[in-house]
């Protein structure tokens, strides 16, 4: 019996669910019925030969891997052999069936061998094809992701470098605010840098406006476009804020106007409290505040005196033969304030912290360079020479400070808490905060936090006071009348004795002079904030993401706020205090204003009073013919070519 190839096996499997008879009785025609009656499978299944039921399953199952019509038939035979109680075999020719089976068995091994070879070849083909297919799919998926990433990146980049800046520019111009047109990507950065270098290429006269050297670009912008004007720090629109009420809003609403992260590399220098925001800032401010309490500052006054007195001895040695000589006082003042912060903050001396100051000085120069260039997102991850050097400096400073902190902690463990230096007071306050919160260290500062605050102590504590003393000596040399008045006051209160805390607080003329110097030569030339959301600032509405910059130098020299003599040195304007001098307006901001006002301002002023009192007690000074007036912004306003004065011993 030879069964021809047909689709009966698949058809039969479909019909098994309802039964073959049900299929016949379902309304088919006579011809179809006759065709089904002659179907080999039907004939086979409805046969009645009992011997067929005894057919060996082993024979059938041994050929189950042969891929032919035979394989299909044998599988059906095996199925119904196991279900023989459901079947009657009475119409099938047993001899023909047995002949088929015998033929199958005779050729079984040969067929299996051939099939196995074919199967292995097919398996290799299928595996190769599958692998290639997977590789193609993976490649297509990668290309898809890459294309999607590129599209998203280009969309965001286009928005960042063009769409958002132009939208912000149109928004401000509709309000009548003037400024420079946006230039793709760089904005005004190139012009700003060029004017900065041009201004620093030549000195100015001591009576000239220092704003032309400290903030030349903004000074020119305000003259051309007005006090309310804007410029571009790269693709960031930057709006000048010079109105006192607007300044008050920006500096008072610290949550709406946080400090911007203009360049992440700046964090290598500007760390600690000045760089923090939100809850972490509040926590650190609370812990650090006790160290700068006026009562606590009395404790560090002897250390200030020792450092200042040491500088007096060095100056006396320089002038001992002739009674006077030309001295570049700038490096001496730098060393003085460095020694003061070393003694008062860390209970050490200048020699121990010398490496920190040298590294911080280099870091400040690199940071100033960074802030004069545009930052492209992701640029900080590139291993540039500048980044490598800044990172190395930060690492070396951290190692030195870690050793100083460990030494202070060891002292605190073996004896009473040290209250004669700021670090000891800081660690004591930090430990108290942790204990008050149930020994939960999350509420205090960790070692890295303390290191960052120490870096801030070193940098801000040294830079602020050194530049204040430097420009005070320059202006008192230029205006000897005020130098004489200040000396008379110091001699009247202290004579030749060591200045004390109460006496320093009674110095009125000296305080007036220091305030006027801070007005004309503020340590920080500008204060910048960023808008979290669209907000009304004064009579302007600024878009979200805009920078609001307060050009402190320009505000302090604004004719509308300070009168026609705004650019002149007149300490008498502070004779009745800051509030009277400013008419109650927020226009005197050398240390900032509001909740984030500089925490160390009292420390800086106390140190400046101590140093200036000792200088006035021991020396008379005037400008040398070699003096070159060239203020320059290196984070703070410093003398570019030093400060050469003639010191005359009294």
Residues belonging to the binding site for heme are 598
Burial code (b: 16+ CB inside 10 Å, e: under 16) for 524-553 equals bbbbbbbbeeebebbebebbebbbbbbbbb
Q: Are strands 236-240 and 547-550 parallel, antiparallel or unpaired?
A: parallel
Given a contact cutoff of 8 angstroms between Cβ atoms, the answer to whether 304 and 344 are in contact is yes
Locate all alpha helices (DSSP H) within 320-384, ordered by sequence: 329-346, 350-371
Locate all alpha helices (DSSP H) within 415-526, ordered by sequence: 422-436, 447-478, 480-494, 501-505, 508-520
Nearest to 97 by CA among 76, 127, 68, 125: 76
Please give the sequence-ordered ranges of beta strands (E in DSSP) within 161-274, or none if there are none: 178-179, 229-233, 236-240
Q: Copy the structure tokens of residue 1.
A: 């019996």
Given a contact cutoff of 8 angstroms between Cβ atoms, the answer to whether 516 and 533 are in contact is no
Q: What are phi and psi of 238, to 5 degrees?
A: -125, 125
Q: Copy the structure tokens of residue 481.
A: 């009348």
Q: What are phi and psi of 649, to 5 degrees?
A: -70, 135
Alpha-carbon distances, residue 611 vs 337, 340, 466, 490, 617 (angstroms): 9, 10, 10, 11, 10
d(CA 302, CA 287): 24
Given a contact cutoff of 8 angstroms between Cβ atoms, the answer to whether 180 and 220 are in contact is no
Alpha-carbon distances, residue 179 vs 188, 202, 228, 523, 555 (angstroms): 11, 27, 9, 27, 18
Residues at the annotated binding site?
598
Contact residues for 304 (Cβ-Cβ < 8 A; gap 6+): 340, 343, 344, 606, 607, 610, 611
d(CA 214, CA 147): 47
Q: Are strands 527-530 and 324-328 parallel, antiparallel or unpaired?
A: unpaired
Q: Copy the structure tokens of residue 434.
A: 């942790």
d(CA 143, CA 137): 10
Question: Which residues pair with residue 646 across a beta bridge?
Answer: 326, 622
Given a contact cutoff of 8 angstroms between Cβ atoms, the answer to whether 168 and 191 are in contact is no
For residue 637, what is the enclosing H or E element?
strand 636-639
With vertex at residue 637, the alpha carbon angle to CA 633 and CA 642, rounded to the nearest 5 degrees, is 100
C-beta pairs of 317-322 under 8 Å, 24+ apart in sequence: 318/647, 319/647, 319/648, 319/649, 320/649
DSSP state letters, 76-97: HHHHHHHTGGG----SS-HHHH
Contact residues for 240 (Cβ-Cβ < 8 A; gap 6+): 218, 221, 222, 227, 228, 229, 230, 231, 549, 550, 551, 554
d(CA 413, CA 428): 11
């Amino acid at each position: 019996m030879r069964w021809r190839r047909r689709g009966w096996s698949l058809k039969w499997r479909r019909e098994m669910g309802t039964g073959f008879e049900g299929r016949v009785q379902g309304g088919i025609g006579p011809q179809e019925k006759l065709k089904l009656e002659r179907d080999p499978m039907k004939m086979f299944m409805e046969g009645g030969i009992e011997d067929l039921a005894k057919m060996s399953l082993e024979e059938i199952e041994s050929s189950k891997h042969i891929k032919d019509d035979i394989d299909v038939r044998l599988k059906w035979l095996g199925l119904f052999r196991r279900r023989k109680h459901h079947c009657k075999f009475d119409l099938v020719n047993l001899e023909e069936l047995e002949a088929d089976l015998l033929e199958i068995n005779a050729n079984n091994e040969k067929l299996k061998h051939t099939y196995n070879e074919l199967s292995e070849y097919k398996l290799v083909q299928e595996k190769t094809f599958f692998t290639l297919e997977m590789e193609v799919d993976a490649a297509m998926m990668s290309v898809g992701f890459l294309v999607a990433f590129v599209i998203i990146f280009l969309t965001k980049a286009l928005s960042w470098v063009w769409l958002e800046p132009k939208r912000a520019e149109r928004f401000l111009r509709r309000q009548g605010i003037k400024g420079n047109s946006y230039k793709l990507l760089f904005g005004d950065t190139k012009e700003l840098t060029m004017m900065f270098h041009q201004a620093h290429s030549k000195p100015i006269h001591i009576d000239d406006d220092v704003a032309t050297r400290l903030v030349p670009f903004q000074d020119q912008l305000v003259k051309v476009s007005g006090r309310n004007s804007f410029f571009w720090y790269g693709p960031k629109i930057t709006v000048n804020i010079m109105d006192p009420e607007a300044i008050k809003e920006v500096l008072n609403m610290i949550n709406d106007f946080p400090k911007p992260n203009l360049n992440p590399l700046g964090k290598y220098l500007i760390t600690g409290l000045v760089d923090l925001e939100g809850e972490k800032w509040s926590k650190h401010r609370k812990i650090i505040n006790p160290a700068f309490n006026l009562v606590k500052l009395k404790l560090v006054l002897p250390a200030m005196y020792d450092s200042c007195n040491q500088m007096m001895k060095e100056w006396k040695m320089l002038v001992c033969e002739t009674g006077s000589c030309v001295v570049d006082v700038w490096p001496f003042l730098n060393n003085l304030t460095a020694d003061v912060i070393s003694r008062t903050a860390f209970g050490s001396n200048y020699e121990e912290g010398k490496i920190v100051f040298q590294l911080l000085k280099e870091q400040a120069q690199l940071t100033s360079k960074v802030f004069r260039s545009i930052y492209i997102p992701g640029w900080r991850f590139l291993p540039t020479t500048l980044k490598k050097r800044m990172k190395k400096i930060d690492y070396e400073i951290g190692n030195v400070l870690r050793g100083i902190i460990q030494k202070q902690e060891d002292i605190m463990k073996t004896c009473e808490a040290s209250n004669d230096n700021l670090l000891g007071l800081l660690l004591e306050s930090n430990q108290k905060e942790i204990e008050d919160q149930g020994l939960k260290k999350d509420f205090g500062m960790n070692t890295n936090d303390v290191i960052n605050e120490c870096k801030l102590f070193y940098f801000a504590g040294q830079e602020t006071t050194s530049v204040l003393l430097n420009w005070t000596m320059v202006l008192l040399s230029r205006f000897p009348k005020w130098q004489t008045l200040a000396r008379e006051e110091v001699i009247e209160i202290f004579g030749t004795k060591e200045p004390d805390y109460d006496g320093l607080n009674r110095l009125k003329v000296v305080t007036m002079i220091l305030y006027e110097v801070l007005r004309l030569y503020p340590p920080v030339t500008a204060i910048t904030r960023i808008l979290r959301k669209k907000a009304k600032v004064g009579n302007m509405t600024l878009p979200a993401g805009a920078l609001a910059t307060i050009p402190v130098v320009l505000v302090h020299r604004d004719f509308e706020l300070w009168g026609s003599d705004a650019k002149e040195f007149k300490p008498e304007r502070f004779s009745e205090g800051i509030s009277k001098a400013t008419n109650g307006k927020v226009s005197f901001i050398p240390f900032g204003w509001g909740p984030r006002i500089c925490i160390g301002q009292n420390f800086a002023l106390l140190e400046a009073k101590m140093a200036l009192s000792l200088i006035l007690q021991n020396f008379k000074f005037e400008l040398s013919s070699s003096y070159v007036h060239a203020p320059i912004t290196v984070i703070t306003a410093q003398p570019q070519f030093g400060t050469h004065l003639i010191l005359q011993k009294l």
